[in-house]
A and B are shown apart, each in its own frame.
Chain A
Amino acid sequence: MTPYEKWVAYYTIIRKEVVRLLRIWPQTFLPSLVTSTLYFLIFGAFLGSRIGMVHGVPYIMFVVPGLVMLSVVMNSYMNTSFVMFQSKFFMRTIDEILVSPTPPWVLIAGFISGGLIRGIVTGILVLLVALFFTHLVIHSVAIIILFLVLSSLVFALAGLVNGIYAKSMDAVNIVPTFVLQPLVYLGGIFYSTASLPPFWASLTRFDPLFYIINGFRYGFLGISDISLWVSFAVLGTLVLLLAVVNLYLLKKGLGLKQ
């Protein structure tokens, strides 16, 4: 395929995914908005005033970046894992691409872009909802965008590995429910690790979401429990590692071909 033909194949995968996302918007975009509205209501309006300030900012302002990131990573992950699993298991529509000359890396790029679009759009929508509850402070737009894209990328790639390997719907649902969600909640959405006992604070350092949430929060508030460079290094390593794993799986056909 020429570079232009590869671009057409990539565009086709994305276009198809955007049409799907918009067709079923009550399933793709709405749930995160409802959940985050409840969080903002409970932790902002109801409990926030009693908790007071964290790192010198109102509690509601402290939790906004984490809640945005929660919707970004969950949506990015679930989009690629579910779309891949559905297309290989229920309808076998993945064969439409597998029989074509579309190279594996274009297929990966297309699926990942679908995850990025859903994750980032949902994140922006949640951020807009947050404006109804608090005003936003922005320390660095560049860091916000960088963390938004990199985090979405990491979880879209991870979701794709899950979707390729999953042999049942349970295997697709288990990771977000029993792995991803606890990691996100324990990664410091609702609290600063500075307020934790030393043992739990050290344990949090093994949670990749801790680095993501802190980096993203730094973009808004200019405060973080750890160095920004450590966060970048963790994210960059995960992107590279997961991209290589996906490429290997697709090239070998593992999980997709018999």
Chain B
Amino acid sequence: MEDLALKTTDLRKTYADGTVALTGVTLEVPKGDFFALLGPNGAGKSTLIGIATGLVIPTGGALSIFGVDAFAQPERARRPVGVVPQNLNVNPFEKVIDIVVNQAGYYGIPRAVALPRADAILKDIGLANKRENIARELSGGMQRRLMIARALVHDPEFLFLDEPTAGVDVESRRAMWTYLKTLTSKGVTILLTTHYLEEAEQLAKHVAVINHGTIVAQGTIDEMLALADGRTPEGEAFRGGKLEEVYLKLTQQAPEQN
């Protein structure tokens, strides 16, 4: 029985323009985990998610999802996966309910089965009253929630969330956290990337920090927080959150001066 949801070995990616995004990422995400992948812009987080979800072609290495080789059997590997991309990518002219139900269709779920399922998810995520609206009538935060509903309609066992709360107001973000916690309590594995470190601190069981295309540290959230000593990389007193302090040390960035 495979107890890993995701396993990458020496995963590499160099884009056509020569940009090196991943330089040999080896990572393990346990099944049922809430895993936070942190790193600065351009560190390689979205590339890693892109490779795992079949949107980016790797240069080398291996990747398996629940033990299935994602490069040898891409369709089988993608079946248990749901993904919420970083950029808004819903059709602005399509109805909310159609966006969710159509996504179920791409996983082979007939419309009659998908409709009640989509309605239930839209209700859970607070979009039931927008069911018949077209996507462009929704606010940015609502569109983000719609993308989560779309990613969940086929009942995935593994959810990739690439900065799902970017641009979302505090109330909606808190509501989203609660919903995501409910999902992990049901056994769904979540890999989250975020720039809100308090979000990772609140939600994650395991954390990995990626920088310049390589994993610079990984461990349980407690192991990561234990690396904090209350000092900035320059040795001055640090007044932010513990994870933020560790993150900044690992990525070699000085905290902003206020």
Contact = CB atoms under 8 A, between A and B. Distances in A.
B56 interface: yes
Contacts, number: 87
A99 B81 contact: yes
A252 B57 CA distance: 9
Interface in A11-25: 11-13, 15-16, 19-20, 23
B105 A9 contact: yes
Interface string A83-106: 000000001110111111111000
A92 B103 CA distance: 14
A198 B57 CA distance: 52
A220 B90 CA distance: 45
Interface stretch (B72-80, B116-124, B171-179): B72-80
Given A1-B75, A16-B98, A96-B150, A101 B87 contact: no
A92 B79 contact: no
A99 B53 contact: yes
Contacts of A252: 57
Task: Determine the interface band of chain A, counting residues with CB < 8 A from chain B.
Answer: 20 to 34
Interface in B19-37: none
Given A12-B102, A19-B98, A99 B56 contact: no
Contacts of B55: 95, 98-99, 257-258
Contacts of B129: none
A107 to B, nearest CB: 9
Contacts of B78: 99-101
B92 interface: yes
Contacts of A92: 85, 87, 89
Contact of A93 (B75, B81, B89, B109): B89
B102 A103 contact: no
B93 interface: yes
A90 to B, nearest CB: 10
Nearest to A93: B91
Contacts of A96: 89, 102-103, 106, 150
B70 to A, nearest CB: 12
A2 B75 CA distance: 12
A23 B89 CA distance: 20
Interface in A200-258: 252-253, 257-258
A258 B98 contact: no
Interface in B109-137: 109-111
Contacts of A2: 108
22 contacts: A8-B108, A9-B106, A15-B102, A20-B93, A91-B90, A91-B92, A92-B85, A93-B89, A96-B103, A99-B54, A99-B78, A99-B83, A100-B78, A101-B76, A101-B79, A101-B107, A253-B57, A257-B55, A258-B15, A258-B50, A258-B55, A258-B56
Interface of B: 15-16, 50, 53-57, 75-76, 78-79, 81, 83, 85, 87, 89-94, 98, 102-103, 105-111, 150, 154
